[in-house]
Structure 1
Amino acid sequence: MIEPKPFVKWFDRKFDTNIDIEQFEDVLSRMEHFPAVLNQLLETCPKKVITIKTDGKWSVNENVGHLILLEDLWRKRFQDIKDGKHDMSPADLNNTATEQAFFNKSLLDELTKNLIDERAKTIALLQGISKEDLLKKSIHPRLNQPMNIVDLMYFVAGHDEHHMSTIQSIIENTVAL
């Protein structure tokens, strides 16, 4: 029997920052296809579940909204590396924008469309990255370690999967009630 992986909080995770730049296309594909994969999961989500908050944690809508908001940060950070900046742009670690956005008043279909649109902008930026840009590094502000563009792409893909797992857990645990 395969044991499920224990849930690890996002801020407690460790990240490999030595991803081979030859992995660019594979990680780009993961990022590009994420909205479609998430959308398949969301099709299984009953409408009554999308705004339920359990134990003060984000709802399905809030998780999707959070992903939308972060696309701008990801693009800034990719650009920071490309521009040769020493440090990447910082994130709001309190997630104030997510908390104040009232995503539970939005339709899930609108949120998923916005995520698709925002991710497309990120993918377009990455498709314009040169081989020389892939060799550049900037310091990730929270992790305090250098990352190249592929390292950051891997980080973003991991963040995507973290929230998809969270959403899946919300759906499974709420539907079971």
Structure 2
Amino acid sequence: MLKKPETNEYPPYYKEYVNNVPDGDLLQILDDQQKKTKKLLKDLSEETAEFKYAPGKWTIKEVIGHITDTERIMCYRLLSIGRGEQEMLPGYNDDEYVKRGQFNRFSLSDLLHHQALVRQHTILLLSSMDEESLRRRGNANGSEVTARAIAYIIAGHENHHRRLIKERYLSSER
């Protein structure tokens, strides 16, 4: 079972994500949380899925696209660092990825399906890695990070955005 990373295994700006992952089997947490996100959103209308709570903010569809793109990128980092890559892995501009992803042209159902497939890949990759691989350190976006920390960042990132969806998009005060 994966243990939470120490604070020296990731940059400080990921602390919120790592701390928001509950204790327990991370593979099960990853599986359960994706199901929770799908359950939360699967019955939304397309109109609601394209709601923005403020000008310049993303729609729910864009948030799901962002979660999925970020997991793809983090999974590549997880694989690379776990396999011993020593070259710096690039960062990315999430606003540009969302803009160019054009997620509002997809149905919410399709976006949730893509997210589920990416999550299956993440779980398979993690389950194939041994402790030594998960403890390897590499450099992503100019900061040192372990493969294990990236796994927790993936989980914490989805928890973060699911909470924002509940609070800012689906609150009763809309």
Give the match for residue 176 of structure 1: 173
Counterpart AA for 1:15: K
Question: Bigger relative contact order, structure 1 or 2, given CA contacts below 8 A and separation 6+?
Answer: 2
Is the alpha carbon distance of 1:57 and 1:27 closer, same or farther for their aligned partners in structure 2, counting shifts above 3 Å? Answer: same
In the TM superposition, 1:6-85 aligns within 5 A as 13-15=13-15, 26-43=25-42, 45-53=44-52, 54-85=54-85
- Give the RMSD, CA atoms, in angstroms: 2.7
Offset at residue 37 of structure 1 (A): 0.8
Given that 1:39 and 1:112 are in contact with CA atoms closer than 8 Å, whether structure 2 keeps it comes out as yes
Q: Tell whether the 8 Å contact from 2:31 to 2:123 is kept in structure 1 after alignment.
A: yes
Q: Is 1:150 the counterpart of 2:148 in the alignment?
A: yes
Moved more, 115-124 or 64-73: 64-73
Alpha-carbon distance between aligned partners in 2 of 1:47 and 1:94, rounded to the nearest angstrom: 23
Quick one: distance in 2 between partners of 1:112 and 1:43?
A: 8
Among the aligned pairs, what percent are the same residue? Answer: 22
Gap regions ≥5 residues in structure 1: 1-11
The number of aligned residues is: 159
1:59–1:170 Cα contact (<8 Å) kept:
no
Distance change >3 Å, CA 121–CA 94, structure 1 → 2: closer
- CA 1:26–1:120 in structure 2 vs 1: closer, same or farther (change >3 Å)? same
Q: 1:43 to 1:76 in 2, by over 3 A?
A: closer
Provide the C-alpha distance between the structure 1 equivalents of 2:134 and 2:94, rounded to a whole number of angstroms.
Answer: 30
* Structure 1 residue runs of 4 or more that deviate by more than 4 Å after TM superposition: none
Structure 2 SS opposite 1:15: helix
Within-5 A mapping of 1:77-116: 77-87=77-87, 89-116=89-116
One-letter amino acid matched to 1:148:
T
